[in-house]
Amino acid sequence: MYVLRHSYLPLALLLAASAAAQPNFEEQIAVTEVTSQQLGEGLHVLFGVGGAIAASIGDQGVLIVDDQFPGMVPKIRAKVRELGGGDIDFAINTHFHFDHADGNLVLGPEGTWLVSQENSREKLTGDNVINLVNQTIDQPAYPDDALPSITFERHMRFHFNGEPIDLLHFGPAHTEGDAAVVFRGHNAVHMGDVFNNAGYPFIDADNGGSLAGIIAFCQGVLEEIDANTVVVPGHGAIADSAALEDYVSMLSTIHDRIAALITSGASLEQVVAARPTAEWDEERGDPASFLNRSYTSMTR
């Protein structure tokens, strides 16, 4: 569906857009300003078009988690400077999807060190198709200078701006290459799209994602944090560990209901008709894509 490299909406909005009535992607990027929320001294969350960005700003420089779109990078850079930072030294991709990683196309050539889980880098080296159910998005391979040059398998640690920053991977979840980023000194974690606080999660079942994997990944993160941890989702409002626990409980219940239906021989249409998400639909929205991708991931 997409042709121009920069013509994107954040994934949460793409899920809500019909193929027959797509908004003007460039226009949204052009009119959206970056806002910020402070989590602590030197740590902020930036909101624009695409995934939420965590920004560590201090004496050693600037490290961000996710970088949205090329058209948003000048606005991100301006907000970082407003908050007391300079050039962006490191940009971590929580996964390979365009609304979190396309800023690489600007930052990489400018000299920012790009970081990701190994599987995400591998995905970025080739052409990808993201199936949103109501439409598909073709994400072209990134050029060499926009690829992460630092990768990890399960765990790596930065010592930056006075705190340890842990990058953790607990197996395929939203995609096959997700990373959670834990700011130990601030007791905060960026979850990427493994935790969607703006609706049901999108499961990229064609690129390694699964409902069971999202649950397991979140459980792994919960073992690394505590009751006072600030939890930054890929999309939606900043939350806490209790909200993440509720999210896991919801997804686990839905998973068990779908699994029981599949065991009984139910088709996707029958699973949708059984409404296994009913009590959360008012808060989370239309479950159609979520159920489709969950069912797909559970029947492969």
Residue 11 is predicted with a pLDDT of: 53
> Among all chains, which residue has been given the structure tokens 């249409």?
269
CATH number at 11-249 = 3.60.15.10
The confidence score (pLDDT) of residue 27 equals 84
Regions in the chain scoring below 50 on pLDDT: 1-10, 12-24
Q: How far apart are CA 53 and CA 192, in angstroms?
A: 9
Q: Are 174 and 95 in contact (CB under 8 A)?
A: yes
Sequence length of the chain is 300
Residue 161 has a pLDDT of 98
Predicted TM-score of the model (pTM): 0.93
Q: What is the DSSP string of 38-107?
A: EEETTEEEEESSSS-EEEEEETTEEEEE----GGGHHHHHHHHHHTT--S--EEE-SSS-HHHHTTHHHH
Question: DSSP character for 193?
Answer: G
Residue 220, pLDDT score: 98
Predicted confidence at residue 19, as pLDDT, reads 31
Sign of CA dihedral 279, 285, 286, 289: negative
